[in-house]
Structure 1
Amino acid sequence: MIRIVILLLALASGGAASWLALGMGDEPSVEVAEVEEAPAQEVLVAAAELKRGAAIEENHLRWQPWEGDIPPVFISRSSRADATIELKGSLALSDFVAGEPIREDKLAQRGTGYLSSLLPPGKRAIAVRVTAESTAGGFILPNDHVDVVHTAVRPDAAGDAGKVVSRAILSNIRVLAVDQTVSQAADGTSVIGKTATLEVNPEQIAAVAAAEASGTVSLALRAISDNYEASVVEAEGTRRGVVRFFNGGRMSMVEVPSRSDGS
């Protein structure tokens, strides 16, 4: 009797195992769908450091992958694939570090008042005639800072040509451009021009114009460490006067500082 029960249990277990095997074989296989990666977004960035006033070339720009949403002020490759060509010749209105996204509101197109875009609020641009000799041998470049020196011939008592007098009328003035060049060459070479455009305050315009009308103007290059000093106009009260004195019947003249009140 016990043997019959064991045999029946064995048959039942085998049948159950067969049924389970058949049932599992009939279940449909589940396919795992491959997740497609979204295409990488790219924005236009500076390929290297760009200084304010630099003329943009194609090799100054490159496309860089961008994670997340792209701000509207940035330039994406999907919307403007030819931006590197379109922006060639633009002028940088501010400094860019390498890898910084390019913003079109920080660029100015040539022929659209780009020089006026370089002027800070309240500043003016005035051009002066220069030579290689009057611009530190031609080594004064756009964005350098200079002192403006006025040289004139003062007549003597008889009205004839007298002594040559030079004095600095402005200090720490930024050079905006030399001729039509508004940025330093990539190799740092000098720019020999006939005019230099200076960034001045409104009250300094008259001093520069009067200096050109009454003599010659030279530019003295300043050290970079001195560029943070305030620019000044020599006060009227510090102009020099001439004292005449006689010695043994001969008249001599000595130039001395004098105040505007005549003392």
Structure 2
Amino acid sequence: MKRPQLIGLAIAATAGLMAFVMVRGMVSKPPVEKTVEIKVKSSDVLVARTDIGLGQITNDSLFRWQSWPEETVTPGFITRTGQPDAMTQLAGSIARAPIMAGEPITQTKLVKAGQGGVLAAILPAGMRAISTKIKEETAVGNLILPNDRVDVILIRRLRNARTGQEDFVSELLFGNVRVLAIGQQIETKEGKKTADSSAATATLELTARQAELLALGNSIGDISLSLRSIADLDVTQGPTAGVDPSSSRETASIRVLRYGTPSRSYGVN
């Protein structure tokens, strides 16, 4: 092979090798990562360090400050700039509702000690707590737990207009009633599937007028609780009204007058 041909071949081989190295370097070269810092305005918000149970008395170890985007901070949040001593100030408060770890603390979720007991703390404004006697056969075999929803049924005797005898009748007093406590248990303990079988009372959340009617119902008959399905729960709606036990079914009645003196009434329903 002639010298010029050898030189040309060497140049071509060298160029090919350089092109191969360059292409390989371009293919295997890792992409350049660019880090872009975006500064977001934030505020330190008071949150729960761990889960806080309903009715639990808090201390400062249950809280911590967490950076929170300023645009999502609502007026109800407690911020370090607004209340720098909030942890100390809220120590000893009672939780009005369960609070999950990392959840922002608000004034409405806690009530300060001295403003009422645990039960008073978890009662919504305008509502009353009233207890009724229960036993296994009137409380779903003691399977009702705090925060369940029940219907309240009154069983009493009314005079039969046709026979003059007294018959047992059942009436729905209230529906969708929240159970505040079974005995002295106000919160379902983790892993506990039933309430205290020895509990003799159920404490219900009712309006002031409904509390009066339940007290009346307890005096004129027997109260039973019917457990509602979780599929029917409506926590946004309070207890619904049923029959008013103060108004007897014997509304259409005959009053017998004997010598101008009224005697007892007999129903004609």
* TM value normalised by structure 2: 0.56
Aligned letter for 1:220? S
Instruction: State the secondary structure of the residue aligned to 2:139.
Output: helix
- Equivalent residue number for residue 146 of structure 1: 150
| Aligned sequence identity (%) | 31
- Equivalent residue number for residue 223 of structure 1: 229
Aligned letter for 2:62? L
Aligned letter for 1:94? A
Residue in structure 1 matching 2:116, options 113, 116, 121: 113
**Residues 108, 187 of structure 1: alpha-carbon distance in 2 compared, 3 angstrom cutoff:** farther
**Residues 220, 50 of structure 1: alpha-carbon distance in 2 compared, 3 angstrom cutoff:** farther
- Equivalent residue number for residue 212 of structure 2: 206
1:91 aligns with 2:101: no
How many residue pairs match? The answer is: 195
The answer (yes or no) to whether the contact 2:58–2:94 under 8 Å persists in 1 is no
1:176 aligns with 2:180: yes
Instruction: State the secondary structure of the residue aligned to 2:219.
Output: helix
1:60-98 Cα deviation digits (max 9, x unpaired): 936566589724447677xx5xx8xx64xx531134232
Find the aligned partners of 1:110 and 1:132 in 2 and give their Cα distance. Answer: 35
Larger Rg: 1 or 2?
Answer: 1
Find the aligned partners of 1:98 and 1:226 in 2 and give their Cα distance. Answer: 28
Aligned letter for 1:181? Q
Instruction: State the secondary structure of the residue aligned to 2:240.
Output: coil
**Residues 206, 194 of structure 1: alpha-carbon distance in 2 compared, 3 angstrom cutoff:** same
Report the more deviating stretch, 42-51 or 112-121. Answer: 42-51
1:194 aligns with 2:196: no
1:83-117 Cα deviation digits (max 9, x unpaired): 8xx64xx5311342321244576334677523222
Aligned letter for 1:197? T
1:70 aligns with 2:107: no
- Equivalent residue number for residue 15 of structure 1: none
- Equivalent residue number for residue 232 of structure 1: 240
**Residues 216, 75 of structure 1: alpha-carbon distance in 2 compared, 3 angstrom cutoff:** farther
Instruction: State the secondary structure of the residue aligned to 1:208.
Output: helix
The answer (yes or no) to whether the contact 1:151–1:215 under 8 Å persists in 2 is yes
Find the aligned partners of 1:110 and 1:218 in 2 and give their Cα distance. Answer: 35
Find the aligned partners of 1:225 and 1:75 in 2 and give their Cα distance. Answer: 43
Find the aligned partners of 1:128 and 1:210 in 2 and give their Cα distance. Answer: 11
Find the aligned partners of 2:231 and 2:85 in 1 and give their Cα distance. Answer: 36
Instruction: State the secondary structure of the residue aligned to 1:137.
Output: helix
The answer (yes or no) to whether the contact 1:178–1:196 under 8 Å persists in 2 is yes
The answer (yes or no) to whether the contact 1:74–1:102 under 8 Å persists in 2 is no
1:216 Cα deviation after fit: 1.1
The answer (yes or no) to whether the contact 1:75–1:103 under 8 Å persists in 2 is no
1:191 Cα deviation after fit: 1.8
